[in-house]
A and B are shown apart, each in its own frame.
Chain A
């Protein structure tokens, strides 16, 4: 087929205007040529015989009259064994290989294959000749680290297909034809271990979507207990800078009870990705005993990398997440930060001279965000198994004000809101999730009654605290004062957690249930003290002991000793009626 060529007629930042003569497709990939360099771009608007394309690279040296090559293919990713442990940029270029080839700096126009074509995989066929399959059904499997990677009927296949000439078990490269599939019209297509899928389309090769009900344990107490996330659910973490969004995401990526974690670093600091990149291979996953990296995949398009690829990066990440979901795995996608992606949309919208919406964000922002989060969920696969994609996105609202378009659009579509507060992070109360403003629609790991009691204390404690600011301590009754101290106690020993402490940093669901039940019992206890000073003193000591308790391993002697000590302290002040 002849190449479909166009001609550059305008360059404005990363937006290219191209004149074409043959048909072009909306969202197809086009390459702009600068000497020998080919710069990848995506067509985003077509008017008459002019197409506008966003270039995923620096547009320096492009000139009017330059050639543009249309490919006819939508922006896609390659899916197949070998994705895990990889570090890709937003366009699925493997960064370590890129570094080998280009050194310290990224070189524009260098695109490498996402998967290793040389590597041999131990292939075991599953489908036999004559089997009738649908898109997403398993043809064979290869082991990939901890998982059994399914080689599936391409998701683009429509209707039923019959398997022909499946290859025998053995060691093959990913480009080996593993079977031929004949469709109902009698057309035969060859299938290898890899397939391509356009990133902006959800993979729908499953039987049905299920309700999200099961809690997903993150080992962050305030999340699991107060604002839980469900497997296959969606949540967002908005917060001003410095409130600890990224740290919270990093902790989640370590401890979350899922099979695979995909980290999409979208327009954020490179240093943060580097931490994950360098530390994960060293850390062991307590659940499997293997390196954490084996279950991790990083898509990183950091803030200084080309803006247009930022948008691509979240889609690349979610597409790969859906791919592993199709294998019956539980996948978690952590996107940091969705605001950067929204800003990329805004930049582009500005260049396209579209009529701006609120804060100059495009009017379609809301539907784009909704469509993205809706790609999360639990699904029942064709073979009866289930898989899930859980999406957690951070939001970086301008000025830390949640009343801005990105936060508000996100809140409409997520199941849990873990809002971070500047006041809490200033007071070093980490994780700084605001216990009064946040909410979750998912079930908690603790008893509902206990949770309600905890929330009640927090609310009342806050009220008393507010009141005390006006009337002072002396104007507050001792009963109210104790409520206030109780809420501060709950905050200090349960909501706050030292992320860098070996034990305190990760609390299992069992321990949360155990500890929370005891703490609620303390909160419900009627107490009496001589005066406010004594009450304060009592709670200070109690806090100290409980914090020590948090720092020792479950069930150890020390653990039991401290628990006993807490009970004795409590007995001293309890009112017996």
Chain B
């Protein structure tokens, strides 16, 4: 039944075109050339012309190479035995283990019925205050890490993977440097997490088309685990490479590009992958953390831009820290009301004050005189960055919240923070006794102390006014 075709009409980029009939859209084929055998899949039909993208690229393919259609779409094997194994983008082993041929599952399957989704409700604790306090990660969330090349995004990814309480970790690597691939493998292994991980890795040296398959294969496998009541964390790095691979194919296929050469369906293509993140009613879940590098640190670049519209927030990684501005977890509202009463308020107040601090910094850099208020903000911002933003900080949520209160207490008067009186009464550290010690330990600069004094006087004035008022 499977006819073999011997004549290739056109070879361009990773795409070959042949004349054939009875071929299905999306069907898989085997292309045999003098340089080896590769899989390919059908991406366009036009009368009797069939275009296929060749997984290993077209280098070495001759016009007389053999094409044999397999009558099935791209599939990948699934079983519990995948755990602890490492594969390439199309599911062939990259480690020395055996290949799997049984229980093949479809990749890039249909979307989950929105009516079968449930509202996410479980927080994923990471021990990173910038995530736990300010932008809580939630089970079944899809979140990218936006950063520029050179930032330690893979380290962050690995750290979250190790600390998050999940059953299965699936790593999809696209265009990874070989070193990064080894880093992930070794980190997971050293921390004993490899046995609950599956890795699908495409390195920068591998053929482009394989890169395109990584998210689909990873997510198809994740979906199967989730349906077996497992909580799955999928790490994808780097999605910009995936988008670039898509661009390459689209241009080869002479599609009209929409923005900076990317195909018009970039949004839909990214969405169909990210939307695989789900909490199945009565079953497991898939959480997706993906790295999107921003070429030139430009968030309006089509890849991060479209990603931002799809995902449920984003983390900005800049200068080795998760930036509070722009970083957002859209699902945090689902969980941070249940953690502690002060969580939401602290989150907003701390960021608002940090924004004020940034403004003050700007003023300072322009050489303006600093007011008392500016002095307080400067002190606050410094502590915020050192004690909360640094990536090395690893404390549980509750501890982090307490730390926030203590920083506020050391830097401001309650009224200056704009926190509702009710919460101030409940959470504002009562004893001011600790404050001087913290202050002297901090810097001991004279200006700071002066401000403190002035402030107290002002406070008295304000108090007396209040007394007069009623």
Contacts and interface: CB of A to CB of B under 8 A. Distances in A.
Interface of A: 8-13, 17, 58-65, 87, 95-96, 98-99, 102-108, 240-242, 267, 269-271, 273-275, 277-279, 300, 302-305, 307, 337, 340, 343-344, 346-347, 349-351, 353, 356, 359-360, 396, 398-401, 422, 426-428, 469, 472-474, 492, 500, 532-534, 536-537, 540-541, 543-544, 547-548, 551, 565, 568-569, 572
A565 B469 contact: yes
30 contacts: A12-B46, A13-B44, A61-B27, A61-B73, A64-B45, A95-B114, A99-B113, A105-B109, A106-B112, A241-B308, A267-B268, A269-B275, A302-B275, A303-B268, A307-B265, A340-B267, A343-B268, A346-B258, A347-B264, A350-B265, A360-B259, A396-B309, A399-B299, A473-B369, A474-B369, A500-B337, A537-B462, A547-B418, A548-B421, A568-B470
B120 A271 contact: yes
Given A242-B328, A274-B119, A547 B420 contact: yes
A85 to B, nearest CB: 13
A61 B113 CA distance: 22
A98 to B, nearest CB: 6
Nearest to B226: A104
A40 to B, nearest CB: 15
Contact of B25 (A62, A104, A353): A62
A347 B45 contact: no
Nearest to A61: B24
Contacts of B310: 269, 303
Interface stretch (B347-355, B402-410, B430-438): B347-355
A278 B119 contact: yes
Contact of A64 (B47, B344, B368): B47
B381 to A, nearest CB: 14
Contacts of B449: none
Nearest to A425: B328
Interface string B267-303: 1100110111010100100000000000000011010
A426 B120 contact: no
Interface centre among B120, B257, B258 (most CB of A within 10 A): B258
Contacts of B330: 242, 271
Contacts of B263: 350
B115 A95 contact: yes
Interface centre among A102, A533, A534 (most CB of B within 10 A): A533
B465 interface: yes
Nearest to A568: B469
A533 B111 contact: no
Given A63-B45, A398-B259, A536-B373, A58 B24 contact: no
A472 B369 contact: yes
A350 B255 contact: yes
Nearest to B141: A271
Contact of B110 (A65, A107, A279): A107
Contact of A398 (B27, B256, B302, B325): B302
Contacts, number: 235
B111 A544 contact: no
B287 to A, nearest CB: 12
B326 interface: yes
A533 B330 CA distance: 37
A105 B111 contact: yes
A577 to B, nearest CB: 22
Given A350-B256, A572-B465, A104 B116 contact: yes
Given A427-B355, A533-B372, 18 more contacts: A9-B46, A10-B44, A59-B26, A62-B25, A63-B22, A63-B24, A64-B23, A87-B114, A105-B112, A242-B313, A269-B310, A270-B112, A300-B114, A303-B272, A337-B309, A469-B363, A472-B369, A532-B371
Contacts of B283: 104
A65 B120 CA distance: 45
A350 B264 contact: yes
Contact of B264 (A103, A346, A396, A473): A346
Contacts of B9: none
Interface string B7-44: 00000000000000111111100000000000000001
B1 interface: no
Nearest to B306: A398
A269 to B, nearest CB: 7
A427 B359 CA distance: 11
B331 interface: yes
B110 A105 contact: yes
B257 A360 contact: yes
Given A98-B115, A242-B313, A242-B328, A60 B44 contact: no
Nearest to B257: A360
B362 interface: yes
A359 B465 contact: no
Interface in B338-375: 344, 348, 351-352, 355, 362-363, 366, 368-369, 371-373
Contacts of B415: 540-541, 544
Nearest to A398: B305
A399 B47 contact: no
Top 5 closest A-B pairs, CB basis?
A399-B300, A472-B368, A304-B275, A303-B271, A241-B308
B458 interface: yes
Contacts of B306: 398
A277 B331 CA distance: 16
Contacts of B363: 469, 472-473
Contact of B371 (A95, A426, A533): A533
A303 B24 CA distance: 25
A550 to B, nearest CB: 10
B4 interface: no
A304 B458 contact: no
Nearest to A561: B470
A544 B371 contact: no
Contacts of A350: 255-256, 258, 263-265
A428 B352 contact: yes
A109 to B, nearest CB: 10
Interface string B80-122: 0000000000000000000000000000011111111111100
B4 to A, nearest CB: 18
A275 B119 contact: yes
B333 interface: yes
Nearest to B374: A473
A230 B23 CA distance: 55
Contacts of B22: 63-65
A360 B264 contact: yes
A345 to B, nearest CB: 9
A60 B24 contact: yes
B425 interface: no
Nearest to A474: B369
B273 to A, nearest CB: 8
B48 interface: yes
B160 to A, nearest CB: 20
B312 interface: yes
A17 B331 CA distance: 42
B416 interface: yes
Interface centre among B45, B117, B302, B363 (most CB of A within 10 A): B45
B203 interface: no
A467 to B, nearest CB: 12
A568 B470 CA distance: 8
Contacts of A275: 119
A543 B418 contact: yes
A474 B374 CA distance: 13
Contact of A277 (B48, B114, B267): B114
A235 B415 CA distance: 38
Nearest to A344: B268
A240 B217 CA distance: 31
Contact of B326 (A105, A426, A474): A426
B314 interface: yes
Contact of B333 (A105, A241, A500): A500
B418 A544 contact: yes
B144 to A, nearest CB: 11
Contact of B113 (A104, A344, A474): A104
A401 B300 contact: yes
Given A500-B333, A533-B372, A343 B264 contact: yes
